[in-house]
């Protein structure tokens, strides 16, 4: 007859092993980093930033945002990317257990060359305070975190804001879903050939052609590899400072 105690011990060990295996499987797609917070309780101090989104309330990026250390920021190529972040509860008492938050990269956390948390090669998220408080306790100050890329979810279509002056069009591309970030852009005026645009800074792309008075078509390739063409998304009567919303959006 089988020993009942031995059988119960076997079952308990099997359950424990499955729990460990399940946690290992869950965490294998996560990377380690650290996180702090900035910007105040209403995130007003996070407006602007190195990606160029400007007022994050108006551009609908909201308060769940983060500034990335340079290894993650990648000279602005990460602007618009979305990350799911959770506090590493096994390494800090300040974590809110079982909680996670999705943030959008909207800024650079600059290095200070004095061993700061944002100095290379460290991977660090300087999160908005409202985002931080969803995963950690305020007085923790800095916590170890686990993070992973996640698709960005947006309402409505991709938006194009035109700035600059004659012979210099600076185009801010926002509300990008899917991978969230842009790899390359081209523009075609109704009277010109297609021209490749250059990344000026963050999510701002520029062209050195006189496109005033022309309807503008853009081709945008996301870092996820999807290319969308936005025919005449900017009408010929456009003025500098205006924003135009397309009826197309990137997929996850």
pLDDT tens string 131-167: 999 999 999 999 999 999 999 999 999 999 999 998 9
CA–CA dist 99, 79 (Å, integer) = 24
Question: Are 84 and 150 contacting, i.e. CB atoms less than 8 angstroms apart?
Answer: yes
pLDDT at 91: 80
Looking at residues 56-74, what average pLDDT do you find?
A: 94
Domain 159-245 -> CATH class = mainly beta
Bridging pattern class, strands 159-165 and 65-68: unpaired
pLDDT interval class at 214 (50, 70, 90): very high
Residue range 91-130, pLDDT digits in tens = 889 999 999 999 999 999 988 756 788 999 999 999 999 9
pLDDT at 18: 52
Average of per-residue pLDDT values in the chain: 90
Question: Are 104 and 63 contacting, i.e. CB atoms less than 8 angstroms apart?
Answer: no
**Is residue 63 scored above 70 in pLDDT?**
yes
In what order do the strands lie in the sheet containing 243-245? 198-201, 204-207, 168-174, 159-165, 243-245
With CA atoms as reference, report the closest residue to 160 among 113, 216, 222: 216
CA–CA dist 210, 132 (Å, integer) = 44
Q: CATH number of the domain at 28-149, out of 1.20.1440.130, 3.10.129.10, 3.40.50.720, 2.40.40.10?
A: 2.40.40.10
- Whole-model pTM? 0.86
With CA atoms as reference, report the closest residue to 207 among 165, 168, 166, 160: 168
**Is residue 10 scored above 50 in pLDDT?**
no
Question: Are 203 and 180 contacting, i.e. CB atoms less than 8 angstroms apart?
Answer: no
- Burial profile 222-232: b = 16 or more Cβ within 10 angstroms, e = fewer: bbbeeebebee
Domain definitions of the chain by residue range: 28-149, 159-245
């Amino acid at each position: 007859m089988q020993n009942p105690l031995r059988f119960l011990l076997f079952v308990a060990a099997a359950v424990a092993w499955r729990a460990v295996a399940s946690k290992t499987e869950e965490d294998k797609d996560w990377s380690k980093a650290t996180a702090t917070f900035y910007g105040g309780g209403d995130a007003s101090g996070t407006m602007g930033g190195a990606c160029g989104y400007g007022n994050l309330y108006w551009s609908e990026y909201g308060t769940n945002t983060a500034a990335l250390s340079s290894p993650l920021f990648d000279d602005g190529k990460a602007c618009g990317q979305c990350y799911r972040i959770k506090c590493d509860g096994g390494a800090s008492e300040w974590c809110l257990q079982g909680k996670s938050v999705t943030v959008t990269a909207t800024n650079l956390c600059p290095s200070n060359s004095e061993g700061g948390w944002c100095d290379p090669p460290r991977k660090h998220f300087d999160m908005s305070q409202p985002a931080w408080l969803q995963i950690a306790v305020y007085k923790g100050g800095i916590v170890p975190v686990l993070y992973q890329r996640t698709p960005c979810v947006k309402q409505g279509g991709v938006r194009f804001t035109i700035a600059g002056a004659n012979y210099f069009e600076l185009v801010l591309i926002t509300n990008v879903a899917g991978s969230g970030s842009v790899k390359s852009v081209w523009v075609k005026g109704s009277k010109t050939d297609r021209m490749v645009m250059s990344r000026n800074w963050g999510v701002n792309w520029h062209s050195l052609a006189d496109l005033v008075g022309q309807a503008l078509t853009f081709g945008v390739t996301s870092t996820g590899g999807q290319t969308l063409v936005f025919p005449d998304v900017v009408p010929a009567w456009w003025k500098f400072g205006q924003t135009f919303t397309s009826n197309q959006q990137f997929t996850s």
